[in-house]
Amino acid sequence: MIKELWSSFPRLLEQRINALLDEAEPNAMKAFQLYKTCQRENLWTDTFEKFSKQLESFFALPKAERKKSSLDALLERPVDVLVWEDFHLNFRTGLVDSRAVSNIVSWAHHLMRVSLKSNSSVISADVLQRTMNYITNPPLYEKAKDITFEDFCAAWKKVVFQLFGKKHDDDLNRILKELHWLNTQLKNADETKDMGTRFHPTIYLTQTEIDWVSDVQKSVVANVPLPKFPLSRGPQKQRLADLERAIQLYRIVQTTKLPELLVHRENIRVTILDRCAGLLKECAR
């Protein structure tokens, strides 16, 4: 499983960084700016304190449910489309969960250390934490959303240089070379997949199987018990059987509090989400 995660590391890291905004809330400055905008547009006439509670209710909704109609219901009248766009956050206007950031750091540090068989200073938890802090609290001249793996590498190089100068350039360049190769392999695979699946899906699933994969994906995101496969004989297709095995492992560690198992739980969780996303994207419907 470590080998599989490592081969997808650039993509998984990119996805997990951008997913931080799915759970973010407006920072104090953004909240006040939205309040003044809504006042100016005659969308809100009450106090900032009450407006803040409405904001909290809106951003507490899962991202998929944060629709314009949901916001309209919380304000005094429907919002204009341009105002609605202003409610979309980036890393400069949103507050991300520090625990979620630390989880990404722990996951990346563990995967790098094991896969690279290295304890180099450039992949230390402190360096990766500083890199993530730079990305999630970007200076004005840096990107604040749609972070790519290349953006992560650029921030990482800046942090390493700030801390060590050129002392660890050889280590960093060697690691970056391998990571860029992994990222290139992923992009090449995407191009091949797009050419081969433009008209033909790579796996045929029944509606029952599709519904199960979708329910598994939703359950993992919501951190609730995962549904069992709906047919007593179990999944017969290899990729579904692989997903089922990962689910069985996840059930074992889903509620653990043992530190040595927590890293494995997060790795398995990411694997399940990645497999679900692939199946739902590539299957016949």
pLDDT grade for 47, boundaries at 50, 70 and 90: very high
- Per-residue pLDDT, averaged over 247-272, amounts to 78
The chain-wide mean pLDDT, for the chain, equals: 88
pLDDT digits over 135-153, tens only?
999 998 899 999 999 999 9
Predicted TM-score of the model (pTM): 0.67
pLDDT top residue among 220 and 159 = 159
- Per-residue pLDDT, averaged over 115-130, amounts to 93
pLDDT higher than threshold 50 for residue 239: yes
- Per-residue pLDDT, averaged over 234-256, amounts to 85
Contacts of residue 220, Cβ cutoff 8 Å, sequence gap at least 6: 226, 250, 269, 272, 273, 276
Task: Report strand pairing: 94-95 vs 203-204.
Answer: unpaired
Cβ–Cβ under 8 Å, residues 244 and 235: yes
pLDDT higher than threshold 50 for residue 36: yes
Task: Label residue 268 exposed, middle or buried (CB < 10 Å: 0-12, 13-18, 19+).
Answer: buried
pLDDT confidence of residue 261:
67
pLDDT digits over 59-104, tens only?
998 888 889 999 999 999 999 988 999 999 999 999 999 999 999 9
pLDDT confidence of residue 71:
93
pLDDT grade for 197, boundaries at 50, 70 and 90: very low
pLDDT higher than threshold 50 for residue 199: no
Lowest-confidence pick of 14-28, 53-67, 247-261: 247-261
Q: If we measure between CA atoms, which residue out of 276, 4, 16 comes closest to residue 149?
A: 16
